[in-house]
Amino acid sequence: MSLYNRRKFIFLSLATTGCSFSPVYKSDIGPAFLRGKIVLPKPGSRDDYMLYSKLEENFGQLENPVFSLSVSYEITSKGLGSLGSITRYNLIGSANFRLVEISTNTLIISDKSKTFTSYSASSQTLATETAARAARDRLMASIADQISTSIMMNYNTNQ
């Protein structure tokens, strides 16, 4: 009986104690030292728009331009299946990005990211095209999140 009470006490003490870590993504839009300071390129395609809108969501709308972000990406598609029938597609995305300080033209961060997503192929063309578009949107959002995380994690170490 006393063992049960000790377990309950240990569990409650661990549950009520917090850690000293602070989240990178808070309920607002990214860290204060980068909020509204990153100039993003103008989108030229739907994929660009999805990528840059997610980056803008993470870093906030431009208020005080300090940095310029350039991103180049490539998306490849690979069909998967058996017996000559493709039932699933993998979209593999890789991106190179550079964050440059505008006033001094100094390179702050240059890095690469790579991720993938997939979608099911269907016998109905419209369903497959809709799934492909949703998968591309998810892929661009994932690339944007990886870029944002890399910039937030490496910004202070490169100053």
What is the C-alpha separation between 69 and 147, in angstroms, rounded? 10
pLDDT score at 81: 83
Tens of pLDDT along 31-80? 677 888 999 999 999 999 999 999 999 888 888 899 999 999 999 999 88
In what helix (H) or strand (E) does residue 116 lie, and over which residues does it extend? strand 106-120
What is the C-alpha separation between 150 and 158, in angstroms, rounded? 12
What is the C-alpha separation between 18 and 145, in angstroms, rounded? 26
Say whether 72 sits in a helix, a strand or coil.
strand
**Whether the model pTM is above 0.85:** no
Tens of pLDDT along 87-131? 899 999 999 999 999 999 999 899 999 999 999 988 888 998 999
pLDDT score at 87: 86
What is the C-alpha separation between 138 and 134, in angstroms, rounded? 6
| Torsions phi, psi for 124 (to 5 deg) | -95, 125
Pick the more confident residue, 9 or 111: 111
Q: Per-residue pLDDT for 158 more than 70? A: no
pLDDT score at 152: 85
